Homo-oligomer: A and B are copies of this chain.
Amino acid sequence: MDTLPAASGGAAEPLTPAQLRELYSLMVAVRHLDTSAIAWQRQGIIPGYAPEIGQEAAQVGSGYAVDTTRDFVFPTYREMGVARTMGIDMVAYMSTHKATWHGGLYDPLESRLAPIQAVVAGSVLHAVGWAHGQTLDGKDGVAMTYFGDGASSQGDVHEALNFAAVMKAPVVFFVQNNGWAISVPTERQVAGGSVAARAAGYGMPALQIDGDDVVAVVEATRRAFAHARSGRGPVLIEAMTYRRGPHSTSDDPGRYRSLDEERDGAGLDPLQRFRQRLLADGVADEAFFAGALAAAKAEEEQIRTGIQALGSRPGTEMFDLVFQETTPALQAQAANWREESEHV
């Protein structure tokens, strides 16, 4: 499906070989960090993790289209690949999975990535508000908000689509339809079968794309950004992909899908696909792939070391970060806590 007017100017330049290689490097880094994080959980380094294995093309490709000097991105709990692509400090990002701080330790304002969001569909409306702020300020930033096939069932998504379309807010709604919401498959979640098909009902253009083709994802996202940036309103992208791993490290997919179903549903691995393509097109060779993997490994090691070195945040932050202007009652509670926990 493609209901986005073709004339979106400026977004049509093809990716250069260097960019294609960069995309591959990012995907390898993300894949390696992702599989490592599952291992970290098994090793007790972190208490839990929500892998995005299989969604690297969708995440790296969309994140690649972001201009961090002016855009703003609203992730869920599963956008590690987007964060990495946007250049977020990955120790600060992964700290949420270490149970250090819910939103992560990175600075959302500087990095242009909103705090990690654990409420399904929780931040979709925030993107609309932020984007409307751009209109009010006469700026040209675009908000991109991520959500899943499962999240599409939430009332807030509808309200966000309608608000954005009524206000012509510069928002890109990026849906990763990964086939599952924990144990519930898309066909029992999304009536009609496609989230992209919903956009027409709001008079909003939409693209349903192969979310496992990183080049297609970059191109579609760039087109959507160009459309939104030029003041023509929001766009919805539905990237068809597959959650190849468990929902999270405490999930047991064997209870609701067979390995056969998994293989059939997942199709070709997006990373392998891209690798074949780069090879076939002569854009990269085995030496490059080996180098990318080595870099990914080195990076993972550094992040792991950083995570392991990460101490707990001081308990006073519980009190100090509630408000900009604290209250006497809260200060009293903090004093009481300090006294009783120092005593111990």
Which A143-179 residues have a C-beta within 8 angstroms of B?
153-159, 161-162, 164-166
Cβ-defined contact, A159 with B165, below 8 A: no
Most buried by B among A165, A188, A203: A203
A329 within 8 A of B: no
Chain B residue at smallest Cβ distance from A206: B201
**Could you say which residues of chain B place their CB within 8 Å of the CB of A153?**
159, 162
Interface stretch among A12-20, A189-197, A300-308? A189-197
Cβ-defined contact, B159 with A155, below 8 A: yes
Distance of A146 Cα from B155 Cα, bound (Å)? 18
A198 within 8 A of B: yes
A46 within 8 A of B: no
How far is the CB of A270 from the nearest CB of chain B, in Å? 27
Cβ-defined contact, A166 with B154, below 8 A: no
Distance of A157 Cα from B203 Cα, bound (Å)? 18
**Could you say which residues of chain B place their CB within 8 Å of the CB of A191?**
161-162, 164-166, 202-204
Chain B residue at smallest Cβ distance from A195: B201
Most buried by B among A164, A192, A197: A192
Distance of A212 Cα from B136 Cα, bound (Å)? 40
Distance of A191 Cα from B162 Cα, bound (Å)? 6
**Could you say which residues of chain B place their CB within 8 Å of the CB of A200?**
192, 197, 200-201
Find A203's partner among B165, B189, B192 (CB 8 Å cutoff).
B192
Q: A116-157 toward B: CB 8 Å interface, digit per residue (1/0)?
A: 000000000000000000000000000000000000011111
Chain B residue at smallest Cβ distance from A196: B201
Distance of A105 Cα from B43 Cα, bound (Å)? 64
Distance of A189 Cα from B202 Cα, bound (Å)? 11
Knowing A154-B155, A155-B159, the reply to whether A192 touches B188 (Cβ < 8 A) is no
Distance of A202 Cα from B153 Cα, bound (Å)? 11
How far is the CB of A109 from the nearest CB of chain B, in Å? 29
**Could you say which residues of chain B place their CB within 8 Å of the CB of A165?**
191-192
Find A155's partner among B155, B164, B201 (CB 8 Å cutoff).
B155
Distance of A157 Cα from B154 Cα, bound (Å)? 10
Distance of A197 Cα from B202 Cα, bound (Å)? 8
Distance of A154 Cα from B191 Cα, bound (Å)? 18
Q: List 25 A-B contacts (CB under 8 A).
A: A153-B162, A155-B155, A155-B157, A161-B191, A162-B191, A164-B191, A165-B191, A165-B192, A166-B188, A166-B189, A166-B191, A191-B202, A191-B203, A191-B204, A192-B200, A192-B202, A192-B204, A194-B201, A197-B200, A197-B201, A198-B201, A198-B202, A199-B201, A200-B200, A201-B201
Known: A164-B191, A198-B201. 12 other contacts (CB 8 A): A155-B155, A155-B158, A161-B191, A166-B188, A166-B189, A191-B204, A193-B203, A194-B201, A198-B202, A199-B201, A200-B200, A200-B201
